[in-house]
A = this chain, B = another copy of it.
Amino acid sequence: MAGSPITIQDVARIAGVSTATVSRALHNPGVVSRQTRERVEKAVEETGYAGNAMARSLRRMETRMIVVLVPDIGNPFFSEILSGIESVASASGYNVLIVDTNNDPAKERTFADYVRGHQADGMLLLNGRPPYFAEGSQEAGRRASPPLVVLCERLPRHDFPTVRIDNVAAAEAATAHLAELGHRHIAHITGPDGNILTAERLEGYERALSKAGLASSAALVQHGDFSIDSGRLAVRRLLETTPRPTAIFCANDEMAIGAIAELKANGRTVPADVSVVGFDDLQIAGCYDPPLTTVRQPRREIGETSMRMMLDRLANDNLDARDCVLPWKLVVRASSSAPGRH
């Protein structure tokens, strides 16, 4: 009984039918007689037959697997998106292969090859870097590109289907919120260079400053990389800036948390001395001290929508590349207030 695995032939022999009938009884039960179906089911039970996914995939030329490329699975921002992807996928009988690329382009490429190598039917991209097949400009014809949906960012010079929010508008609203509170020296801590989100949120920040009639200054814009530590470091630099900023808009919540921690460590009170606004609305944002004002993204919905677009695309080769823009919301909590006297 132990040893060689059970195949459809074993089941067929025991049930006294052909392998084709076993296959039908399992995948298309309506088309076989009740008697036969029951005999097959009994044989399946007896043997513990589980099918062979490799053989089925080869025959059907589909894997029912979707690869999701995530730059950093430890980033809590992604987990709810993944959860949304997962729920839609499994409801349609698809599996999700989550791959942490660690922002390593080589790894991204390896896994992009999954689709070409028939290890997956499609790919969801969360890192805003186009995969190999989109690199050469001449070969980037959409006709040749495998099923792909880009999440959260829109790749410049490509028209892959996209699900995202309007980062420029959201960043503008977050910064405008600080300006409306009366802040005149508003700093910004950016994401990593080369990231599309970084550019868009910076643009929103600058647009808000300009609309509020505030001067922007290079010293007010500090580079970060979305990590807690980079938020701390950026604040250390900002504390040496003149005029001292009374408010900081951080390109994500983790840097905002680092920023607040560092402000406290330097004896500043948030928001009395410095207001801080984040971006993403991680779960921790509401529990931090003070609770963080931030931009909420519909993370689960982003995941769900992207997977639905993927399923549409899989069912219909010639689907148009849609750009789906979901709503965001500024969540005002206690980390932002009118500036104190200085």
Interface string of A271-300 (1 = CB under 8 A from B): 000000000000110011100000000000
- Select one of B2, B53, B73, B74 contacting A144, CB under 8 A: B2
Q: How far is the CB of A254 from chain B (nearest CB, A)?
A: 9
Asked if A95 lies at the interface with its beta carbon under 8 angstroms from chain B, I say yes
Residue of B nearest to A95 (CB): B97
Given contacts A74-B80, A80-B74, A144-B2, contact A55 B53 (CB under 8 A): no
Chain B residues lying within 8 Å of A2, measured Cβ to Cβ, are 143-144
Asked if A13 lies at the interface with its beta carbon under 8 angstroms from chain B, I say no
B116, A50: Cβ atoms closer than 8 Å: yes
- Distance, CA A229 to CA B143, complexed state (A): 49
Given contacts A2-B143, A118-B53, A118-B54, contact A287 B228 (CB under 8 A): yes
- Select one of B74, B261, B288 contacting A83, CB under 8 A: B74
Q: How far is the CB of A76 from chain B (nearest CB, A)?
A: 6
Interface string of A79-93 (1 = CB under 8 A from B): 110110010001000
Asked if A117 lies at the interface with its beta carbon under 8 angstroms from chain B, I say yes
Known: A48-B116, A264-B289. 12 other contacts (CB 8 A): A1-B144, A5-B116, A50-B117, A50-B118, A52-B58, A53-B114, A54-B57, A73-B82, A82-B100, A86-B100, A95-B97, A95-B99
Q: Which 3 A-B pairs have the closest CB atoms?
A: A74-B79, A50-B116, A53-B119
9 A-B residue pairs with Cβ-Cβ distance under 8 Å, sorted by A, are A2-B144, A50-B118, A53-B118, A73-B73, A83-B100, A83-B102, A96-B99, A98-B98, A261-B289
Q: Which residues of A contact B (CB under 8 A)?
A: 1-2, 5, 48, 50-55, 57-58, 63, 73-74, 76, 79-80, 82-83, 86, 90, 95-100, 102, 107, 113-114, 116-119, 143-144, 228, 257-258, 261, 264, 283-284, 287-289
